[in-house]
């Protein structure tokens, strides 16, 4: 098994930075130009030297580690110290040139030189080199074929963001932190320069959990993941962005400041909202958001996006029409407060669901009037994307409010793929992406911030990032580069044919093609979540089977990080995300509210969970933490039977059908329920003969958060000792001043506490 990459292998030194003069490179409209001349046949290598300048800073070194990680996880290639590898790759940051641009050239003295115009440019150059290279299965043979692409490139659009579903999506409540880091790194390699997420300030609605405040233990897991995402972005010199629905609040808000439900037909009235048009309401909201922003002070926030509807909005007379009135006022107030913590923070205003309230005046016009008076505090507008032509006709006719740059909030999740990630939809969508881009690229001059709600949208998000980089590049060309990088160049044509068939609705044909390709992939490509996403998409398997972001980083880093106890097994599992080991990994609901074992749907009656203790053990108690969300217990078994066994075959019941369990839908408590076992065995089995009595949206399962098996405690043996008046401390014969000092401290403590005398001597 491969081992994890060890930091510190990267060589720094004063190496020549001169580019080869064999070719002359041009940069035009953000499009890269390849080096002229025939491509050379590159050799397969197993060891690479990565060279940095002697005084490379932390970001420079971090980018080099990303390069190292990608090489290793894709083929097992080694990074050697010095310049002793079979190929030398030098990573430098040059001076001048277009912002975020890069150049890849032949290195003087042999090898490849990747030069970024800044830190981001270096990251993007590394991404281009990796995508132009080839990889083979790397267990015992040379596996890396360095890319022969040479040229320069720089982005046309300066705002190339990625927005992940951080505030609600179960993916983020479960994701391994290392996988989040890799996600950010990989989108950076594709050219993204802003990483955005929505902080979950919400009081709960429907099946969406609510939180009582910023310090609610149920929020800890999401908060940790957001911190990881934003910290990783900063480590790579990427910008960070928070999406803010200004009126949203936690549960427990005083009733006198609650917002009036609005009448917007598509914007919802989700969660708990506060009216900002009263002094008390505005004060409450400003204090709340000040606390949120302070939390990220050590990381840094570069941008805020203010969101009008879904979560958010107020329909009272003082706030209406919301988008051109109350929304503007509270957004500006939060901006002024944010400036005290993050001077110069960039602001975007969204017009999501504007003009959908038949009783309100024109919100777009009202916003334009407000920004005509003062647009100094706003940097971008995010027009409502869900309209014919993907850009509001009012803005085509009258201009963008405030004459500000428009950013494309490409809603590549809900509009194209269905609301839930249980709906397969037709992603990837190269045809739709190309159609949308042709209609909008002249309108969205500010850049992009595509919304990724599902695991299936990865390829579409990559196409968007690269189109923002080079607006005239065909989407199909980007998709070819994506499939070549992720799934091997030898199968690109077949995979793209399958994608096209799927988008056209011929799912069965797409599945047939992908199934024929799968055995030909490397182990990394076949097991990686991107391939599993493709297969689930065309075969109809639930997205839960992808387990995206939740698995230990197997085949993403080239090794398995032990996460769950494999000695725990169960009668069934609700997909690998909710495996038996989740109930015995030491993670409680306060640490991660989505870490639990769940039986397969409708297989709750007679379900069981079993643990191998390794050796025959005297068991005193078993403690169980049951599942809860929304402040209520859910999916608790009706009864529980405890059994022990020496061989895992013949079982002895020690507690039969205990009803000492919380009632479903009763008030939740994180306390663990304790059960006296007082039996001996190697195996413990929990049997749920009666299943559960709860069904939610067709789901009927038994769930356990954590099972703790406590050994029996032997009776304490109390020994008595006679009092003494003198203590002798013996030291070794060598003259050790530190040891003498410790002996002196011991002597002083004894003599201060009683009348005993302490003498010290050497051996």
Instruction: Return the closest-CA partner of residue 346 out of 330, 333, 334, 335.
Output: 335
Length of the chain: 763
- b/e code 70-93 from CB counts within 10 Å (16+ = b): bbbbbbbbbbbeebebbbbbbbbb
| pLDDT over 60 at 554, yes or no | no
pLDDT digits (tens, 9 = 90+) for 341-358: 999 999 999 999 999 888
Q: What pLDDT, on a 0 to 100 scale, did the predictor assign at position 737?
A: 65
Q: Give the integer Cα–Cα distance in Å for 418 and 25.
A: 44
Which is more confident, 722 or 110? 110
Distance CA(540)–CA(534), nearest Å, equals 10
- pLDDT tens-place string over residues 269-312: 778 899 999 999 999 999 999 999 998 999 999 999 999 998 88
Find out whether the peptide bond into 321 is cis, omega within 30 degrees of 0. Answer: yes
Pairing of strands 134-135, 632-633: unpaired
Does the structure show a pLDDT above 70 at 140?
no
Using pLDDT thresholds of 50, 70 and 90, give the confidence band for residue 560. Answer: very low
**Residue 207's pLDDT is what?**
60
pLDDT of res. 328: 98
- Write down the mean pLDDT value for the chain: 82
Give the model confidence (pLDDT) of 208-252 as tens digits. 667 888 778 777 778 888 898 999 999 999 999 999 999 999 888
On whether the CB atoms of residues 334 and 244 are closer than 8 A, the answer is yes
Nearest CA to 159 out of 303, 60, 296 is that of 303
Six-digit token pair at 657?
Answer: 């059908």
382: which strand partners?
350
pLDDT confidence bin for 168, thresholds 50/70/90: low
d(CA 292, CA 226): 12
Q: How far is CA 339 from CA 347, 377, 438, 517, in A?
A: 11, 10, 37, 53
The C-alpha angle 239, 245, 246, rounded to 5 degrees, equals 105
Q: Which residue shows structure tokens 């009668």? A: 571
Contact 152, 103 (CB under 8 A): yes
Is residue 427 within 8 Å of residue 457, measured between CB atoms? yes
pLDDT value at 575 more than 80: no
How much is the pLDDT for 410?
Answer: 86
Least confident of 64-78, 106-120, 161-175: 161-175
Cα distance between residue 182 and residue 165, in whole Å: 16
Distance in Å from the first CA to the final CA of the chain: 49
pTM value is: 0.70
Q: What is the mean pLDDT of residues 742-754?
A: 75
Q: Which residues contact 290 (CB under 8 A, 6 or more apart)?
A: 337, 341
Residues 179-200: tens digit of each pLDDT: 788 889 999 999 999 999 987 7
In this predicted model, what pLDDT tens digit does every residue of 631-657 receive, in sequence order?
Answer: 889 999 999 999 999 988 899 999 999
Per-residue pLDDT reduced to its tens digit, 442-453? 999 999 998 876
């Amino acid at each position: 098994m491969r081992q994890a990459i060890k930091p510190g292998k990267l060589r720094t030194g004063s190496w020549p930075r001169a580019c080869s003069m064999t070719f002359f490179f041009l940069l035009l409209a953000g499009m890269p130009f390849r080096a002229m001349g025939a491509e050379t046949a590159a050799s397969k290598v197993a060891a690479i030297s990565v060279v940095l300048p002697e005084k490379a800073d932390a970001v420079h070194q971090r980018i080099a580690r990303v390069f190292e990680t990608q090489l290793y996880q894709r083929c097992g290639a080694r990074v050697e110290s010095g310049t002793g590898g079979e190929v030398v790759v030098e990573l430098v940051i040059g001076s001048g040139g277009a912002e975020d641009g890069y150049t890849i050239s032949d290195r003087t003295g042999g090898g490849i030189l990747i030069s970024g115009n800044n830190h981001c440019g270096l990251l993007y150059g590394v991404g281009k080199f990796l995508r132009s290279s080839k990889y083979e299965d790397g267990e015992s043979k040379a596996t890396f074929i360095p890319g022969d692409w040479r040229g320069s490139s720089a982005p046309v659009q300066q705002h190339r963001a990625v927005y992940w579903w951080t505030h609600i999506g179960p993916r983020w409540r479960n994701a391994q932190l290392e996988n989040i880091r890799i996600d950010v790194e990989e989108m950076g390699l594709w050219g993204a320069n802003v990483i955005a997420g929505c902080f979950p300030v919400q009081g709960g609605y429907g099946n969406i959990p609510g939180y009582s405040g910023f310090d609610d233990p149920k929020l800890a897991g999401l908060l940790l993941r957001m911190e990881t995402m934003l910290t990783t972005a900063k480590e790579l010199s990427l910008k960070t962005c928070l999406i803010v629905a200004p009126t949203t609040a936690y549960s427990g808000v005083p009733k006198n400041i609650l917002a009036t439900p609005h009448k917007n037909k598509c914007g919802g009235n989700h969660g708990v909202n506060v009216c900002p048009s009263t002094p008390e309401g505005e004060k409450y909201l400003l204090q709340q958001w000040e606390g949120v922003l302070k939390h990220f002070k050590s990381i840094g926030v570069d941008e805020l996006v203010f969101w009008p509807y879904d979560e958010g909005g107020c329909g009272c007379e003082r706030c209406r029409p919301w988008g051109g009135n109350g929304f503007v006022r509270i957004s500006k107030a939060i901006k002024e407060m944010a400036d005290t913590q993050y001077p110069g923070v960039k602001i975007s205003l969204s017009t999501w669901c504007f003009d959908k309230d038949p009783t309100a005046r024109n919100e777009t016009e009202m916003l334009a009037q407000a920004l005509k008076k003062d647009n100094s505090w706003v940097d971008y507008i995010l027009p409502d994307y869900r309209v014919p032509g993907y850009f509001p006709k009012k803005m085509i006719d009258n201009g963008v409010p405030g004459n500000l740059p428009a950013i494309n909030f490409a809603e590549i999740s809900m509009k194209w793929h269905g609301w839930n990630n249980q709906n397969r939809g037709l992603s990837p969508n190269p045809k739709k992406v190309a159609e949308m881009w042709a209609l909008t690229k002249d309108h969205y001059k500010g850049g992009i911030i595509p919304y990724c709600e599902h695991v299936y949208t990865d390829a579409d998000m990559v196409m968007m990032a690269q189109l923002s980089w080079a607006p005239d590049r065909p989407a199909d060309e980007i998709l070819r580069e994506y499939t070549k990088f992720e799934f091997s160049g030898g199968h690109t044509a077949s995979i793209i044919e399958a994608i096209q068939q799927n988008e056209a609705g011929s799912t069965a044909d797409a599945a047939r093609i992908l199934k024929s390709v799968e055995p030909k992939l490397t182990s990394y490509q076949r097991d990686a979540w991107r391939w599993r996403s493709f297969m689930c998409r065309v075969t109809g398997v639930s997205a839960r089977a992808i387990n995206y972001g939740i698995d230990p980083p197997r085949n993403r880093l080239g090794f398995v990080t032990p996460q769950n106890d494999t000695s725990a097994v169960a009668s069934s599992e609700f997909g690998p995300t909710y495996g038996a080991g989740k109930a015995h990994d030491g993670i409680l609901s306060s640490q991660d509210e989505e870490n639990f074992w769940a039986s397969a749907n409708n297989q709750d009656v007679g379900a069981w969970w079993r643990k191998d203790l390794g050796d025959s053990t005297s068991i005193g108690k078993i403690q169980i933490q049951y599942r809860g969300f929304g402040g209520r217990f859910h999916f608790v078994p009706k009864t529980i039977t405890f059994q022990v066994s020496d061989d895992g075959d013949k079982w002895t019941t020690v507690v039969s059908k205990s009803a000492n369990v919380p009632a479903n839908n009763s008030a939740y408590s994180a306390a663990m329920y304790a059960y006296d076992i007082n039996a001996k065995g190697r195996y413990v089995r929990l049997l749920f003969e009666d299943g559960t009595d709860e069904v939610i949206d067709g789901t009927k399962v038994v769930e356990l958060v954590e099972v703790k098996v406590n050994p029996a405690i032997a009776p304490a043996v109390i020994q008595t000792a006679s009092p003494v008046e003198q203590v002798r401390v013996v030291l070794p014969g060598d003259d050790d001043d530190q040891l003498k000092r410790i002996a002196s401290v011991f002597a002083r403590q004894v003599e201060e506490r009683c009348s005993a005398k302490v003498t010290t001597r050497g051996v």
